[in-house]
Structure 1
Amino acid sequence: MPTSDADCPFCAIVRGRDSDAREVYRDDFVIAFFPTEPATLGHTLLVPRQHVGFIWHLSDELAAVLGQATTRLARAVHAAVEPDGLNVIQSNGEAATQTVPHLHIHLVPRWDNDNIGPIWPSETDYTEDQKDRAWSAIRDECRTLMS
Structure 2
Amino acid sequence: MTCIFCHSITAAQILTETPHFKVIFDIDPIQQGHVLILSKEHLMDLRELSEVQLLELHKLEKAIITIFEQELLVDGVSVIQNNGAIMDEGTHFHVHLVPRYKDDNFWTHQIVNQKEAALETVKLRLKRLAK
| TM over 0.5, shorter chain | yes
User: Partner letter of residue 66 of structure 1?
Assistant: L
Say if 1:11 and 1:66 are closer, same or farther in 2 by CA, change over 3 A: same
Residue number in structure 1 paired with 2:103: 113
Structure-1-length-normalised TM-score: 0.69
Compare CA radii of gyration and give the structure with the larger one: 1
Question: Could you tell me which amino acid in structure 1 is paired with residue 123 of structure 2?
Answer: W
Gaps of 5+ in 1: 1-5
CA distance in 2: counterparts of 1:113 and 1:135, whole angstroms: 32
Scaled by the length of structure 2, the TM-score of the pair is 0.76
Pairwise CA RMSD: 3.1
What residue in structure 2 maps to residue 3 of structure 1?
none
What is the total number of aligned residue pairs between the two structures?
127
Distance 1:59 1:132 in 2: 30
Q: CA deviation at 1:119?
A: 8.7
Alignment of 1:66-145 (within 5 A): 66-95=57-86, 98-99=87-88, 101-118=91-108, 130-138=118-126, 142=129
- Structure with bigger RCO (C-alpha 8 Å, 6+ apart): 2
Q: 4+ residue runs of structure 1 moved beyond 2 angstroms?
A: 91-95, 112-121, 135-140
Listed as ranges, the gaps of 5+ residues in structure 2 are none
